[in-house]
Chain A
Amino acid sequence: MAKAIVSIADWIADLGEVAIDWVSGLGNISVFIFRTFYWLTTHLPKRETILPSFYQIGVMSLPVVALTGTFIGMVLAVQSYAQFRMLGLETRLGAVINMSLVRELGPVLAATMLAGRVGSAMAAELGTMRVTEQIDALASMGANPIHYLVVPRFLGCLVLIPTLTIMADFMGVVGGAYYSVYILNIDWYHYIANSRQYVSMFDLFSGVFKSLWFGAAIALIGCHKGFHCDPGAEGVGRAATAAFVQSFVIILILDLLLGITLDSVYTMLYPKAPSLI
């Protein structure tokens, strides 16, 4: 009997510990986000810190994002063609490819790619700096590490991930159009006309708007994981992996929530949207 009570007490203690860890983790990242916004709004970082971050996030990610976009467009064409041909609606392919691309697949897949390339790299870089006491060294010399390290990366992601998403969208549109017109022999005129009829500026806006949130999430999670990295090479590796996994989960959750919100806004703004069929 006494044994059972002890084991229940242990179980409750373990549960309490998990709850405390969870709440303190949430509090920790909230304070981190608050301090990032505080420094962002009170002191813009110097050009010497912004430019390398922008270069790393923007320029270095360009090829991989362009490649991702192109292949998404072509794969969409391949996958949709068979089903649309059965219905005799091949010419509507442009509308389907481009709408899925700019609203959903372009932003989400570009963000996923960038969570891997940019978010993990940030976590590994800042984690190494934490482990080798370079972050402490920054603070000891009167430089605020959030201002010096996090704000430039956050700004870089906030500005450049939507820009890279536009790039991915563009390459996807080109890739999809190339495959549909030159490989699947769909009439060019109808492909373009259908795309123009069904894909609105709001679709483009909603994709870019979502990518703004994805960019902020990638930067904050990557930097937070790096800042709170455990000691040693294993700690850095874990921080990089956790940065990607958590960013990916948050991207999916944000995608759903923003999708629902933007859909409601769309229905409110355009109650009589054109039907695809």
Chain B
Amino acid sequence: MVGPLNTHGSQQTTAEPLVRIEDLAVRFGRQYVLRSIDLDVARGQTVAIVGESGCGKTVLLKTIIGLLRPVRGTVYFDGRDVARLSDRELTRERLRFGFLFQQAALFDSMTVAQNVAFPLRQHSSRPEHEIRQIVLARLSEVGLPAGVLGKKPAELSGGMRKRVGLARALATGPELMLYDEPTTGLDPIMADVINELILSTRKRHPVTSVVVTHDMRTTLKVADRVVMLYPLPRLRPGEPQVIYDGPPGGLQQAADHRVRQFVEGEAGERLMEMRQANGG
């Protein structure tokens, strides 16, 4: 399966997808979170994975990078099965990924400069002045002044932390950027700043992106293609977990009412369920 054509003018897609997911299933204990997921992400494409909380979006993202292991199915990154890589191979392959975590996941004990320099120091013997130049360049790309270099993450606002996280994820020039809820917890203006940064990152670097979000503004602004997941406990047996896979423009006209319900932000039958649960 090859995704729809890129509408934002980024790198042209090729036949071989960068990420291929086949019949993926992930579970925690006895509870399945993902089941029978098939998904290809073409090179240069920006795919938004959307869906309500608990549908397994973040789990999918972490399985792509090998932080979680599937119980069934395969994730191929550039043709290699991620689960079959040894610790050392996986460590090397991960340099080709950039991951922006939901709460930025900056190291508390390090300064901003040390955080952004971390992936550079970890795997290269670049001289310190070169590392400093890269750190400054990445921070300037995300609109942060050199004055924040010596600050600790605790001294920064949520938006600044996210931007430092983005600068750190971009430090090694990744081929695949994974964004986990990049705008969650931010005010609308800062959320739009992050959306613009995702777009400008793609213009500046030839990067493939997977954005996990439930923010429809982000989805419509940055994505070439939208994949909507539905929580497994709410599905009937045999129903597919992916309830939409197509361009962002098609979300409003989707035949499945669950897709339109999510896009419109309507509680629908959930209100009834809540009332029933409360005995009302």
Contacts and interface: CB of A to CB of B under 8 A. Distances in A.
B123 A142 contact: yes
A139 B66 CA distance: 9
A140 B91 contact: no
Interface in A182-229: none
A132 B123 contact: no
Nearest to A21: B29
Contacts of A134: 105-108
A187 B101 CA distance: 68
B102 interface: yes
A133 B92 contact: no
Interface string B52-96: 000000000010011100000000000000000001000110110
Interface in B107-157: 107-108, 118-119, 122-123
A142 B95 contact: yes
Contacts of B123: 142
Nearest to A48: B121
Interface residues of B, number: 25
A141 B95 CA distance: 6
Given A35-B87, A136-B62, A142 B67 contact: no
Contacts of A35: 87
Interface string A134-153: 10110111111000000000
A139 B67 contact: yes
A136 B101 contact: yes
Contacts of B172: 141-142
B97 interface: yes
A142 B122 contact: yes
Among B65, B87, B92: residue with most chain A CB under 10 A = B87
Contacts of B98: 140
A141 to B, nearest CB: 4
A68 B201 CA distance: 57
A144 B95 contact: no
Contact of B119 (A132, A133, A142, A144): A142
B99 interface: yes
A38 B87 CA distance: 11
B36 interface: no
B184 interface: no
Contact of B118 (A132, A136, A141): A141
5 contacts: A134-B105, A136-B67, A140-B65, A141-B168, A144-B91
Given A35-B87, A143-B91, A144-B87, 7 more contacts: A136-B105, A137-B107, A139-B65, A140-B98, A141-B95, A141-B119, A142-B95
